[in-house]
Amino acid sequence: MEKRTLGRTGLSIAPLVFGGNVFGWTADEKTSFQLLGALFAAGFTAVDTADAYSTWVPGNSGGESETIIGKWLKQSGRSRDEAVIVTKVGSEMGPDRKGLSARWILQAVEDSLRRLQTDHIDVYLSHWPDPETPYEETLRAYESLLQQGKVRHIGASNLNAEQLRAALDVSKQQNLPRYDVLQPEYNLYERSSFEGPLADLCVKEDIGVITYFSLAAGFLSGKYRSKADTEGRAREGRVSQYLNDKGMRILAALDKVSAETGAKPAEISLAWLLRKKGVTAPIASATSLSQLESLVKSATLALSDEAMALLDEAGA
């Protein structure tokens, strides 16, 4: 399995980042530990999380995912340097506990470090744009954290091309650290927000790209083909938006490539991402060892040009 370099960070990662949003939500602590153990044993050592995972679950207050990762890292016996931990700041954690102000970043990072039981975060991302805070203030806070060694690299999630360009310009003009990693929503169904100017900018500036919703909340696994398939599922509301003509065209194309290759739709969807311009690695989650095994296979699945063209057309 060939590793990839995450933009200018110099970090070498396997071509799949595990989505830790499931930890403390659809995967309990025991299952999460099993998944992390199997993940690292297979050579995949990058895990994506956020301070806000998983505030949406009744009874949770945020930080559950980071806490589980931290516990596992401590009890696993593995060196901290084996892992690449990506976490985020900016989502609402409560009153006055959100956004990208220097005050909140400097507090939130300490909370994340405590939960992760580590002295540094490999990649720290601005989770959402914050129109109330100037880029300079945010970047100066990150500069402080980088100088202290509490954060190794910084990046952003959910910025469009104009916003990312503006942030890069401020970094250059003020001689501040720049965003070296971007985490956009990008998959076979949702392509318009990344393809084009944003992807071009990432390539031009050598910004590492790790995509989220890489499987469209599980829709691209092929297991949701009707409203009835989604009922009672944790992501019922989100998956339902894909149950339309475009979604069915994509599933039909995935089925055809699956019949030709013997690979599962989820594996094909991730392999498609790995061949797209600018993408370093997709983020994908699993809640069982069998699902994880399938995700791992995607990293070595080579799609033909014909298969890529078929999938491109279906999701256009």
Q: Which residues are catalytic?
A: 53
H/E/C letters for each residue in the chain?
Answer: CCCEECHHHCCEECCCEEEHHHECCCECHHHHHHHHHHHHHCCCCEEECCCCCCCCCCCCCCCHHHHHHHHHHHHHCCCHHHCEEEEEECCCCCCCCCCCCHHHHHHHHHHHHHHHCCCCEEEEEECCCCCCCCHHHHHHHHHHHHHHCCEEEEEEECCCHHHHHHHHHHHHHHCCCCCCEEECECCCCCCCCCCCHHHHHHHHCCCEEEEECCCHHHHHHCCCCCHHHHCCCCCHHHHHCCCCHHHHHHHHHHHHHHHHHCCCHHHHHHHHHHCCCCCCEEEECCCCHHHHHHHHHHCCCCCCHHHHHHHHHHCC
Evaluate the CA torsion angle 314, 268, 65, 122 in order and state its sign: negative
Cis amide leading into 285 (omega within 30): no
User: CA angle, corner 271, sides to 265 and 272, nearest 5?
Assistant: 90
Q: Which amino acid is at 32?
A: S
